[in-house]
Amino acid sequence: MKQTHESLILTGPGQCSIARVSGPGGDGPVLVAVEYSGINYKDALAITGKAKIVRAPFPFTPGIDLAGTVLESDLEEYVPGERVVLTGGGLGERFSGGYTQLQAVPSKYLLKIPEGMSTRTCMILGTAGLTAMLSIMVLEDHGVVAGEILVTGASGGVGMIAVKLLANLGYTVIASCGSTHLWHKLQGLGAARTINRINTDASRPLMHAQYDGVVDAAGGVALSAALPQVRVHGCVAASGNAAGAELNTTVYPFILRGITLAGIDSNTAPVQNRLIAWGRLQTLISEQEADQLLMATVSLEDVASVCSAKVAGKAPGRFLVSTAREM
């Protein structure tokens, strides 16, 4: 009898169920026994149908992240038994995704999990961790290697991991979010100060300059409000749109303070940057610290309800999806 496995299947926008299926949804060259996935804001948009994330025909398995063990491979660079991670690159959007126990994935962005990092920790971090690390790497590239860093959307997956990484790197972190019940957690992760959302309209083009850099996971009005408060030659790494997609600004922070606004897209990040970022994540965050970043571990059955809560703003932060069941 052919072995079956469990997959979350979207039959249309906002309509999903768990099914037992007999083959992987994808047709990539590397067959992976998926152990963990995660729930990112983008996954929540895809599952609830709140935004058009899925670019493939239904039925479709979403999930932009996966980590597990290679079972079979058509490519000699991936050997059965190796632990691998895939985040973004069209996974769960154009290619059948991570909410499954078995997936045949494309190899372009498929990476070996760094030595010393567990498969579980890799997915506690996932796309959010990669995005946070890439954001900090951009700050460093622009000379912001110390000082005071504002993190917007600090209660979220990207924000929380950024707070931890920045604190571990010795920056002074100001964590901004509206989830005041998570302020204590953020302080425990290393935030020197916690402040509410900064979503006030940026009424003046230049304000008191108080941040050397910004890791912006909120976007919209939060980003508009942050730009006039960045110090001379500071840098803002922008990755999010939870607070909106529109940006209201003037040229003055750029031409009078020489600040840089740098965009982060973890989805299309080149392999070389990913390798550096995952290596640094392994060095900077211990297994124990990764646990502190986790809100909950859930099963495939729970994914839809967590996604609904996430788009409603009621479930910020990292949710690990464990696919563990007998296959």
Classify burial at 172, counting beta carbons within 10 Å of its beta carbon; exposed 0-12, middle 13-18, buried 19 or more: middle
Residue 131 to residue 140: CA distance in whole angstroms: 14
Q: In the complex with ligand NAP, which residue's Cβ is closer, 102 or 304?
A: 304
For residue 317, state whether it binds ligand NAP (rule: CB under 6 A): yes
Of the residues 24, 25, 98, 240, which one makes contact with ligand NAP according to CB under 6 A: 240
Residue type at position 185: K
Of the residues 121, 229, 266, 323, which one makes contact with ligand NAP according to CB under 6 A: 266
Which residues within the stretch 50-69 sit at the binding site for ligand NAP (CB under 6 A)? none
Smallest separation, CB 38 to ligand NAP (Å): 9
For residue 153, state whether it binds ligand NAP (rule: CB under 6 A): yes
For residue 120, state whether it binds ligand NAP (rule: CB under 6 A): no
For residue 86, state whether it binds ligand NAP (rule: CB under 6 A): no
Q: Which conformational region is residue 190 in: left (phi greater than 0), alpha (psi within -120 to 50 degrees), or beta?
A: left
Residues 6+ apart with CB under 8 A from 57: none
Residue 125 to residue 287: CA distance in whole angstroms: 11
Task: Kindly state the tokens that stand for 309.
Answer: 């809560």
Of the residues 7, 37, 40, 229, which one makes contact with ligand NAP according to CB under 6 A: 40
Using the contact rule CB under 6 A, the part of the chain among 74-82, 116-124, 137-145, 157-165 near ligand NAP is: 157-165
Of the residues 129, 156, 228, 253, which one makes contact with ligand NAP according to CB under 6 A: 156
Q: In the complex with ligand NAP, which residue's Cβ is closer, 6 or 65?
A: 65
Residues 6+ apart with CB under 8 A from 166: 136, 149, 151, 173, 190, 215
For residue 177, state whether it binds ligand NAP (rule: CB under 6 A): yes
Residue 175 to residue 273: CA distance in whole angstroms: 26
Burial 214-230 (b: 16+ CB within 10 A, else e): bbbbbbbbbbbbbbbbb
Whether the CB-CB separation of 31 and 104 falls below 8 Å is answered with yes
Q: In the complex with ligand NAP, which residue's Cβ is closer, 1 or 245?
A: 245
Q: In the complex with ligand NAP, which residue's Cβ is closer, 21 or 311?
A: 311
Task: With CB under 6 A as the rule, give the number of residues binding ligand NAP.
Answer: 33
Of the residues 127, 194, 229, 260, which one makes contact with ligand NAP according to CB under 6 A: 127
Where is 4: in which H helix or E strand?
A: none
Q: In the complex with ligand NAP, which residue's Cβ is closer, 70 or 132?
A: 132
Residue 108 to residue 78: CA distance in whole angstroms: 12
Using the contact rule CB under 6 A, the part of the chain among 102-110, 140-148, 228-236, 237-245 near ligand NAP is: 237-245
Provide the binding-site residues for ligand NAP, judged by CB under 6 A.
Answer: 40-42, 127-128, 131, 153, 155-159, 177-179, 197, 199, 217-218, 222, 239-243, 264-267, 310, 313, 316-317
